[in-house]
Structure 1
Amino acid sequence: MDANNRDRWFLDPGPLLPWIDKFAADLAAQRYTSLTIEGYTASARHFATWLGSAGIPIDAIDDNVVRRFAEHRCRCPGGRQWQSISSNYWRRAKRFCTFLQRAGVARAPLKVASPHPLLDDYQSWLRVHRGLSERTITRHRRDLHRLLPAFGTATHDYDATLVRKVVREWRERTGPANMRTITSALRSYLRFLAGAGLCRPNLDHAIPTVVQWRLSSLPRYLSAGDVDRVIASCDQLTTGRLRSRAILLLLWRLALRAGDVAGLRLSDLDWPSGMLHLRGKARREVRLPLPQDVGDAIIAYIEQERPRVDQAAVFVTMVAPYRSFSQSSHVSTTVALALKRAGISDPPSRGASLLRHSAATSMLRSGATLEAVGTMLRHRSLDMTAHYAKVDIPMLEQIAQPWPGELQC
């Protein structure tokens, strides 16, 4: 007798049996395989039987109950003599608990009040008025959770001395890169407070500048030949070949950011006019022409490989549950894996920005103006685009002046 039939024979889930069937139907709707669904329902049936034997009512189920289930020494029916429950097994039970909570059967998890209630208003301000991405908003909130205990809750008492004191303390704890993100979050938060009349104005100017030699290094890029090898490496894949190819071509031919690709929706593709609609940083909306090879790659992916799911996103995961990329890092991972397949062992970087930089470098070397490159990259300032002018080393050598040596008095 296999494990699933044994569970059905020995384990009695009691009043939760109908909900286990609904749980299985919900997993099937998300395109899980029958084998995976059997694993989830076996865990759910065991969990329900343990609840009955422990005398725990359904409306008392919460995360603490799931932890007790994970730690119990199993002597449940079915010949089990487990010393402990495996982590994978109890995670499935936790998934069932979450399903019950969403259905209103189990107790909803308690919301812990934030020790800094103004952060909720600040988060809304960033989203509505500043147009920041959810990833940036989450990072700002995380940094401020660490900073604000040193400031206290009396925002009207904040002054320049306190701001500088806290920043100096944190500068001794972390490196320059992390310190830049922390001071950026604090500067933004102080502007929010000042705008709402909750602290003195211009306190953001009291934050010391973190030393950073802006645009001091050469841009990181691949040659056109290496990029062709990276894209061609997609043919080595058996699963996800068309998706990876479409993603890489978008990064290379249109110089998109990872977030642009991850957030691309089916409605953003204007096939009749051959245009692509994008929402970039700070919600700036632009329309870009869709090259033929990129459009062909996207169509091939949608028609032949993309799961048939009701998702607005163009690119979705290849395993159930099929959903859009939760983070732009999925796009960067696609680039990193393609570099490895192509045999490029020492690339200057491994993220999605590598192909974006390579596209800008290739345009400049082909004779494009800085204005044209800046338009494609969607830079607000031409100073940012000028960073790529440093890639033409032979031209720089022609205009570089020889070192004068010692000057005669």
Structure 2
Amino acid sequence: MSDVSELAAEAAAFMVQAGYSHGSCAAYQRVWDQFGEYCAGHEIEDPDRETAAGFCTAAGADGVEQWQVFHRRAVGCLFDVAETGRFALRAGRGRIQLPEVFTAEYEVYAAWLSGRGLAKATVRGKTGMLRRFLAFLADSGVQEMASLRALDVSNYARSLASRAASSRAGQLYFLREYLRFAVREHGADPALGAMFPVIVTDKDAVLPSVYRWGEVAGALAEAGNGSESPLRDRVVMLLASVLGMRSGDIKGLRFDQIDWANRRLSLILHKSGRRLDLPLPEECALAIIDYWKNERRQVEDPHLLVRQRAPHQPPAAGNHFHQVVAGCFDRAGVEASGRHRGLHSLRHSVAVGMLEAGTPYPVIGAVLGHADANTTRRYLRVNVADLRPLALEVPDVR
């Protein structure tokens, strides 16, 4: 492996070629310079990913704040470029250009997805991942699916190393589906279809991540601290922790869906397309008004939430407010103890809280917008306190 200066020069050249702005290049270079100083101070001449992990820990960049995530990504990109000649472009950099040589493959896959009746958001996510994969292949010299090799796929998988674990998992799940599709439709090597075997698991074997109300209240008290959009973050946290709304429904909430006179929300669920009417508690209503009057950019957009920075549009499709929620829990000193810390954990917590309050299953399912009663029943397994009195005594066998 080369020293940091050589790695940085190679990564910087890729960034210029990929069209990164001067400011972005400078931000990455600052982290690389700090990494170089760290290696020099520890007399490390041949740094690797383990060295990078040590640097991030020493710099305090092992948390979920935006600068911490950026530090880890910036250092990881050095090794991505050294190993594959490139690194994965940031999801927020807009639509990746589809290589002309793969236009037909892209259109066939997109048509196949649409024909399956999948939600628009699902189709958009899968075609976006395909565009990223095809761009990588074109940059690597692959011109057709029939010549695709396992090494090309492995190199792409390695290029995702600096991304979050959930993002990598989604990309690899997509690859498994698409490679099998490419074998069927484009004559790709059949061995590629077996690169990512299906591992059968029971989704009900994993308990939903749940936080008790005291923990959620502590996180709510921290909403907005250290954020450039504190009032927006409080709205997000309240809608998720009080009403159990999904991130897609929060991002899609429009002014015409708020009935101020009757204090109700009338939603079309992002996931299922079903209609859902919810009460609008006073605390949520006041938070929305506070954000609307004192922080929201005054732009002609029907959505409640818009970005603080231009363009002032609704939050990006890939923004699930994970950093907002995780940051609130961190500042409140709430231990994760193996639990997820995203927005959906607040939705789970609402369900369990209602269950513990004696709310009937049909009511819980209606509030959460569940189409299947079995989805609601999953939360029975979390309500250990109510199940404990029903447990049979263990007989004394001595």
The 5 Å alignment of 1:188-337 reads: 209-234=198-223, 236=225, 239-273=228-262, 274-329=264-319, 331-337=321-327
Counterpart residue number, 1:130: 118
Deviation at 1:124, TM superposition (A): 5.0
In 1, are the aligned partners of 2:218 and 2:332 still within 8 Å (CA)? yes
Is the CA contact 1:132–1:283 (under 8 Å) kept in the aligned structure 2? no
C-alpha distance after superposition, 1:283-322 (max 9, x if no partner): 3443333223212211221112101123333212223443
CA contact under 8 A between 1:374 and 1:385: conserved in structure 2? yes
Q: Structure 1 265/390 Cα, relative in aligned 2: closer, same or farther at 3 Å?
A: same
Moved more, 269-278 or 390-399: 269-278
Structure 1 residue 115 displacement after superposition: 2.4
In structure 2, distance between residues paired with 1:229 and 1:401: 36
**Equivalent residue of 1:293, what SS?**
helix
Look up the SS of the partner of 1:281 in the other structure: coil
Change (3 A) 1:208 1:87: closer
| Structure 2: distance between partners of 1:238 and 1:115 | 42
Change (3 A) 1:363 1:307: same
Alpha carbons of 1:228 and 1:184: their partners in 2 closer, same or farther (altered >3 Å)? same
Tell me which of 378, 387, 396 is aligned to 1:396. Answer: 387
Match of 1:18 in 2: none
Q: Say yes or no: does 1:342 pair with 2:356.
A: no
User: Given the superposition, is the C-alpha separation of residues 144 and 371 from structure 1 closer, same or farther in structure 2, using an over 3 Å criterion?
Assistant: farther
Q: CA deviation at 1:366?
A: 0.3
CA RMSD of aligned residues (A): 4.7
Matched, 1:358 2:346: no
Conserved in 1, the CA contact under 8 Å of 2:235 and 2:287? yes
**Which digits, 9 at most, give the CA deviation of each residue in 1:132-165, with x for residues without a partner?**
4133542466568899x99x768xxxxxxxxxxx
Greater Cα radius of gyration, structure 1 or 2: 1
How many Å apart are 1:269 and its aligned residue?
2.6
Unmatched tracts of structure 1, length 5 or more: 1-62, 71-84, 90-108, 155-165, 200-205
TM-superposed deviation, 1:358: 0.9
Per-residue deviation, 1:246: 0.9
- Give CA-to-partner distance per residue, 1:191-240, whole Å, 9 cap, x none: 9999xx999xxxxxx99642213121332111112212221223745852
Task: Evaluate the alpha carbon distance shift between residue 119 and residue 64 of structure 1 in structure 2; reply closer, same or farther with a 3 A threshold.
Answer: closer
Q: Secondary structure at the match of 1:287?
A: strand
**Residue 113 (structure 1) aligned with residue 100 (structure 2):** yes
Q: Say if 2:364 and 2:376, in contact at 8 Å, map to a contact too.
A: yes
**1:257 aligned partner, one-letter code:** R
Q: Secondary structure at the match of 1:313?
A: coil
Shift in alpha-carbon separation, 1:313–1:192, aligned structure 2, 3 A: farther
- In the alignment, the residues of structure 1 paired with residue 19 and residue 201 of structure 2 have an alpha-carbon distance, to the nearest angstrom, of 48
Distance 2:293 2:353 in 1: 31
* Secondary structure of residue in 2 paired with 1:394: helix
- In the superposition, the TM-score normalised over structure 1's length comes to 0.56
Q: 1:140 to 1:238 in 2, by over 3 A?
A: closer
Relative distance call for 1:180 and 1:136 in structure 2 (3 A) is: closer
In structure 2, relative to structure 1, the CA distance for the partners of 1:374 and 1:340 (3 Å cut) is same
Output the CA distance in 2 between the equivalents of 1:316 and 1:325.
Answer: 6
Q: Say which is worse superposed, 120-129 or 210-219, in terms of deviation.
A: 120-129
Alpha-carbon distance between aligned partners in 1 of 2:296 and 2:276, rounded to the nearest angstrom: 26
CA distance in 2, matches of 1:65, 1:252: 40
**What's the CA shift string for 1:255-299, capped at 9, x where partnerless?**
111222123233333434522323321434433332232122112
